[in-house]
Amino acid sequence: MQPQPPRRSTHATNSPLNRLVYDRWGEFGRPVVLLHGLLFDRTMWWPVGAELARDCTVIAPDLPGHGDSPARTDYSIERIAADLAALVHDLQLQRAPIVVGHGTSAWLAIAFADTYATHCLLTLDEPEDSMPATVDKLVASAGLGTVPEHYRPFAEPRRDPALLRAYGEWKAQPPTRRLAVAGGVPGPSGAETAFSHLSDPEGFAGRLRALL
């Protein structure tokens, strides 16, 4: 008999004002928090979550206003980082997480690591300076051409200008803080491409596994 694939379960935090919907794989081990970029959703991490599930606890949330997480009034990077920290704390795994940020959520991952206990930080395709001004520019810069056809359903952006405007203040984060934190946290050797978690989920999961 073949073993069953790791089971993904979906949960929501209990705060009615700052609710986050997230998927979870695994029950034990170090938490690994996977953050999708703006306009995408948590499904982009499904292949990697399944690869890692037997080695750790994988958490992939929808950011506010994305996927199944409802919109809110406070989209500040500090507020969302605090909500993620509360989510990790409530898992009661007693270990600092690995935090992975894709695209614009690299800034969120770095803000998290700047304030909360973090075992390791990995960013993919962090914007060089500020957030693209329009949805079309953000999508054009995302590097979707590297995603294999069979994984494209996991990388479908939501083309919503109002959602992008809601996160507009993220581009005002001080670059010196981001660079200082990013430079001080070890990561796997070799550069990660924008969608390496979808172009090579097994290899990407292996590099994360080495950091556990």
Lowest mean pLDDT among 15-19, 57-61, 85-89, 137-141: 15-19
In a domain, 2, yes or no: no
> What is the total count of domains within the chain?
1
Q: How far apart are CA 30 and CA 119, in angstroms?
A: 9
In a domain, 6, yes or no: no
- Helix H segments across the chain? 46-52, 77-90, 105-115, 135-140, 161-166, 175-184, 196-199, 201-209
32 strand-pairing partners: 58, 98
In this predicted structure, what is the pLDDT of residue 2?
A: 46
Mean pLDDT, to the nearest integer, of 148-153? Answer: 95
Lowest mean pLDDT among 1-5, 20-24, 185-189, 205-209: 185-189
In a domain, 89, yes or no: yes
In a domain, 72, yes or no: yes
In a domain, 14, yes or no: no
pLDDT at 4 over 80: no
How many Å separate Cα 186 from the centre of its chain? 18
In a domain, 169, yes or no: yes
3-state secondary structure of 57: strand
In this predicted structure, what is the pLDDT of residue 130?
A: 79
Q: How far apart are CA 106 and CA 134, in angstroms?
A: 19
**CA-based torsion, 66, 67, 69, 71: positive or negative:** positive
Query: Residue 56 sits in which domain range?
Result: 19-209
Average per-residue pLDDT for the chain: 87
In a domain, 46, yes or no: yes
The CATH number of the domain where 106 resides is what? 3.40.50.1820
| pLDDT (tens digit per residue) in 56-76 | 999 999 999 999 999 999 999
> Where does the pLDDT of residue 185 fall: very low under 50, low under 70, confident under 90, or very high at 90 and above?
very low
In a domain, 102, yes or no: yes
CB atoms within 10 A of CB 127: 16
